[in-house]
Structure 1
Amino acid sequence: MSRILVFLACTLFPGVLHAEIPLFKTHQDYVDFVDSKVMSRDFIPLIKQLGGDDEYTDAQLKSTNAQLLNVMPFDFTGTELIKNVRLSASFTQEMRVFWNAKSSYVYFYSLLHHREDGVVVLKFNLNTNSDKIFEKF
């Protein structure tokens, strides 16, 4: 049941690109941001910064945040990039995994555009079911 909730919550917030493009100066800035927000389960700023700021109401964000915190009740203590696929010279897909001592795992997918002025997250997804993330590759 908890995996379904995470899938549904993340499907509602796929990180759709909007008029003001969220831009990270470097790939490491993007990694540091995602790692800090997911590891501390700070999901509202994660969703907003990665493209959902003007796509969803505060009520929708709060509801999704509550669902995510319910299925991921403990902060994560480790993270690692487990898959990176170069699609072209400037587009990549990444899969990151986060875990904690409670044997909880969550998987993060992103489609990135590496531009001269920085890195844009075109799409992202967060799920406790690794199959849902591996399907994107």
Structure 2
Amino acid sequence: MIKNSLLSAAFVLAASASVEAQTNLRTQFNQALALFNELVMNKEIGEAIDMIQPDVVLSDAEKAEYNAALSEAFPDPFIGSATVQSATLKSGFRQEMLAYWTESGDYLYLYMVMHTQGAQQQVIHVEHSTTFSKFISRF
């Protein structure tokens, strides 16, 4: 009886720790996504790339070049952003499609693939397009 109670208690503690870890990862992801969206909305795409892909080292000149290219492609300010689609894949992988738009109706779509290993989440692939159908067909 005591053995069963101890096993039950151990299982409950392990399960709650796992749920808490998943919740913390999702909270961290949501906070990082909010910061990423803010950077893109401000047309600081160089800083956004630097933030989500720490293994990609961009110089200040490269960041400025990316920022200038985004500002040239989208001269009007972005007025909104949203997660269009999000899907959990197998073995810790996840894909996200994000959208940013201007008042004049121009859209930027970003597609990201992430992988979570333990407490580490890493963006392993990023693409962008102005064509909705390019990424939505992947879901």
Q: TM-score range with shorter-chain normalisation?
A: 0.5 to 0.7
Name the counterpart of 1:117: 119
* Stretch deviating more after TM superposition (65-74 or 46-55): 46-55
Distance 1:53 1:102, change over 3 A: farther
2:40 to 34, 38, 41: 38
Question: 1:122, 1:77 → 2: CA distance?
Answer: 28
Task: Please identify runs of 4+ aligned residues in structure 1 that moved more than 6 A.
Answer: none
Offset from partner CA, 1:24-64 (integer Å, 9 cap, x none): 97121122122111111111211211226644444333323
Question: 1:127, 1:107 → 2: CA distance?
Answer: 5
Residue aligned with 2:121, SS: strand
Name the counterpart of 1:71: 73
Question: 1:65, 1:135 → 2: CA distance?
Answer: 28
Question: Is 2:93–2:113's contact at 8 Å kept on the other side of the alignment?
Answer: yes
Structure 1 residue runs of 5 or longer lacking an equivalent are: 1-22
Question: Is 1:94–1:110's contact at 8 Å kept on the other side of the alignment?
Answer: yes
2:132 to 110, 130, 133: 130
Residue aligned with 1:119, SS: strand
Could you tell me which amino acid in structure 2 is paired with residue 38 of structure 1?
V
Structure 2 residue runs of 5 or longer lacking an equivalent are: 1-24
Structure with a larger share of its residues in helix: 2
What is the TM-score when the length of structure 2 is the normalising length? 0.67
What is the aligned length?
A: 115
Of structures 1 and 2, the one scoring higher in RCO (CA 8 A, sep 6+) is: 1
Write the mapping of 1:1-137 to structure 2, written as runs, cut at 5 A: 26-51=28-53, 54-134=56-136
